[in-house]
Structure 1
Amino acid sequence: LLLADQKNRIFSWIYLIVSYAMISGQIITVKLFRNPILYAVFYVFTNFVTNIFVSIYVNRNYKLNYHVNDKLSEIEKEEMKSNIFGNMVMRISGVIVTGTDSMLLSAFTNVIQVGLYANYTTLTNVISKIMTQGFNALTGSIGNYIVSNTNDKNKVLFFNLQFLNFYVLNVAILGICFASKDVIILWLGEKYVISSLNTLLLALSFYFMNYRMLGWSYISVYGLSKYMKLFSVSEMIINFVASLILLEVFKLGITGIILGTIFSTLLTVGWQDPYV
């Protein structure tokens, strides 16, 4: 509701305050009790406590009536179910595609390779999250603009925003290609630097994954998530199979993992997202 009303800043403030409180609790727990279970409890309950405060805010400020007898039609219900399920599959797909890489690396190489790969993906994830925050903030405005304007104007907005996305992405991949080595050396030391080829492939993988970011916003706004289920599942399968072959058969290590992600993106959602 806050997102649709373009007041996501309220959620962000609540989450920020709760997060700082929970982190303070974690520090105290570690220092005084040295208990990993208590530490984990604070981590798990961060979202839970945030949701409680958000619910209190929404109930007080929107005066919601929970006793309305009006019901959605069966067509509306089916449309909502289909889109919710499609959105869920899209999110799960993204987590699995990125999450299985470390598992496969540890299974077919060693922990050192996993660590080297994780250091670089930490950097790219930070950039990706900043971009995601930017486009998430635009989603409500995009929806409002779409219902208020003609199709031609909506196209112009899309292409303008896509150019902005293209511009930011190019700056980002130049940073990954030419500055990530220096950041890693400064942060961890020279022995944690990966090859120039792998750095370039990581930048390309980042580019292909995040060029779709604006498309995700439009897919959500237009209610097109229902068409993404099959595509998202095929991305997961191809990523796993391609990475497995490149690791097991060709013994490519980190290079194989990154190539597997690139292949799965280009062969599935890389063309399917724009089509939808």
Structure 2
Amino acid sequence: MAKESRVTKSLLNARMNLICYFVSLIAAFFTRKILLNYLGTEFIGFTGTLGSLLGFLNLAELGVGVAIGYVLYKPIFDDNKIKIEEVVSVFGYLYRIIGFFILGSGVILSCFLPLIFQDAEISLYVVYLGFYSYLFASLFGYFFNYRMSLLSADQRNYIVTGCFQLTNTTKVVLQMVLAYYTKNYYLFLLIELFTGILNSIILNHIIDKTYPWLESNIQRGKLLFKKYPEIGRYIKQLFVHKIAGFVQFQTLPLFIYSFVSLPMVAIYINYTLVTQRVQSLMNGVLDSTGAAVGNLISEGNRTKIFEVYKELFAIRAFVSGILACCVYHLISPFIILWLGEEYLLSNVVVILVSVQMYLFLLRGTTDQFLFGYGLFYDVWAPVTESVLFMLLTAIFGTYYGLPGVLAGPLGANLIIIYGWKPFFLFKKGFKKSVSNFYYLVLSHLLPTLLAYYSAVKVSNAMMSIIAIQFGWFNWFLTSVLFTISITIFLYLFAYPMSKGLRIATNRLLKKRIR
């Protein structure tokens, strides 16, 4: 395989993720209303419920893709094509097992569809066609698309992202047009199935062109699985990590319902809809460096590895600080314009939501290097985090309501994600004192707080001069002024304290000059 720059590939991945994010956002914005109007809220709700049901079935995959990606880093760096073929064959074998498990579970689940949708005014023919269309579309990934793991590990995930975005955008536009002219449920669902087939054909054609030497064999993968016992070990470890995060994410609304009220769940979700979009935007761009980190660690240069960690941490801290401050400063006025004042949450809750988002975004760099080093074996950590999450949430929620419920996961996060995880990485990976991590955190957190205070003063002063009273336009102008202000202030305040930010700046300037 031709050697290409890690930075070049990371930028390609980030650019493609960014483009696809906005394309999907625009497509969803324009198609959602037409689908609701012409197919009905009940049918669209039905398809959403199908997605959730299949999401639970797909829990069987948790950990396999990441484990295979980690095992591929070294042979990709060494250009060891024989080992790459072997690992991909093992992946095909494991995905075939998962595919049959999901298929069997899906068939069993389908027996209960009449009970699940007994109150829905939708024909059982439509229910079953919809369920099996979504099921078979997802199964293509397990039976035919498993080789795309090589593209991801080889930092070519932009190919996968672009392929799926092209076909999925075409799908939703076609579904919108047919819904407008025919209002036919069957056509909508058949297009869903056809898209899965088309995705598989295009992706496999691209893989054949990119890696013409690749010959994977699922039967051979069954025999080779014994040759790579570490894959099974990593899968078990990663499954615990992933399932713990899934459980926490799914149970938080239940805690809000239990300790506050059901209407408060809906009001809180309005805020998380915004923060999740922000998180998706940033993760789509910055998570594109994950395979590059694995490739870098395979190189074995400890000094270079730690320098890149500081650089990626600085970039992530810079962007996270801007986004968290923007969310805190702008989300309440946005909610007033979007839904009305009756949907506002208290300032304390907004602070907790913003801090939680900041910590979630900032952890990404440490997670990438933990995965790059293969440090998955601390399976007690996610279990402990989940126990702390439930315990602290229940205790604080009992006494403080919604702020208490949100303080629970925050406390668990600080203890495990910002206590144990950095210690684990710095001790086992970098072989350095964890004090380096906390210096990095403080050297970016303090400038962020100072930049927020300065940006508020400047943007408020400018808005008082402009004095525009039009609702949405006023909010948009405030957003632009505040975002520009905090970006400038944070860069000026963080640059002297952050070596990583200085390295990133020099790298960008050199690229511009070239």
Give the Cα–Cα distance (whole angstroms) in 2 for the partners of residues 41 and 118 of structure 1.
32
Q: What's the CA shift string for 1:78-104, capped at 9, x where partnerless?
A: 322222233333232222222211122
The aligned amino acid for 1:259 is A
Give the Cα–Cα distance (whole angstroms) in 2 for the partners of residues 131 and 19 of structure 1.
21
Aligned to 1:236: 386
Aligned to 2:371: 220
Give the Cα–Cα distance (whole angstroms) in 1 for the partners of residues 390 and 188 of structure 2.
33
* Number of aligned positions between the proteins: 271
Q: Mapping of 1:21-170 within 5 angstroms?
A: 21-27=170-176, 31=180, 32-33=182-183, 35=185, 50-51=199-200, 53-63=202-212, 64-67=214-217, 72=224, 74=226, 77-148=228-299, 150-170=301-321
SS in 1 for 2:228: helix
Q: Post-superposition shift, 1:46? A: 6.6
Structure showing greater radius of gyration is: 2
Q: Post-superposition shift, 1:226? A: 2.9
The aligned amino acid for 1:27 is M
Query: Higher relative contact order at CA 8 Å, sep ≥6: structure 1 or structure 2?
Result: 1
The aligned amino acid for 2:158 is R
TM-score (norm 2): 0.48
Q: Post-superposition shift, 1:274? A: 0.8
Aligned to 1:245: 395
Give the Cα–Cα distance (whole angstroms) in 1 for the partners of residues 256 and 184 of structure 2.
31
Alignment partner for residue 2 of structure 1, among 151, 162, 180?
151
Contact 1:84 1:225 in 2 (8 A): no
Q: Post-superposition shift, 1:179? A: 1.2
Alignment partner for residue 258 of structure 1, among 406, 420, 443?
406
Q: Post-superposition shift, 1:34? A: 7.0
SS in 2 for 1:225: coil
The worse-fitting range, judged by mean Cα deviation, of 90-99 and 118-127 is: 90-99
Give the Cα–Cα distance (whole angstroms) in 1 for the partners of residues 254 and 394 of structure 2.
11
Give the Cα–Cα distance (whole angstroms) in 2 for the partners of residues 254 and 42 of structure 1.
42
CA RMSD of the aligned region, Å?
Answer: 2.9
Q: What's the CA shift string for 1:117-159, capped at 9, x where partnerless?
A: 1111111111211221123211222223333351111111111
Aligned to 1:191: 342
SS in 2 for 1:139: helix
Give the Cα–Cα distance (whole angstroms) in 2 for the partners of residues 233 and 47 of structure 1.
35
Give the Cα–Cα distance (whole angstroms) in 2 for the partners of residues 53 and 88 of structure 1.
30
The aligned amino acid for 1:19 is N
Flag the 1:238–1:121 CA change in 2: closer, same or farther, 3 A: same
Aligned to 1:178: 329
Q: What's the CA shift string for 1:211-233, capped at 9, x where partnerless?
A: 21111111222111233x22112
Give the Cα–Cα distance (whole angstroms) in 2 for the partners of residues 42 and 240 of structure 1.
42
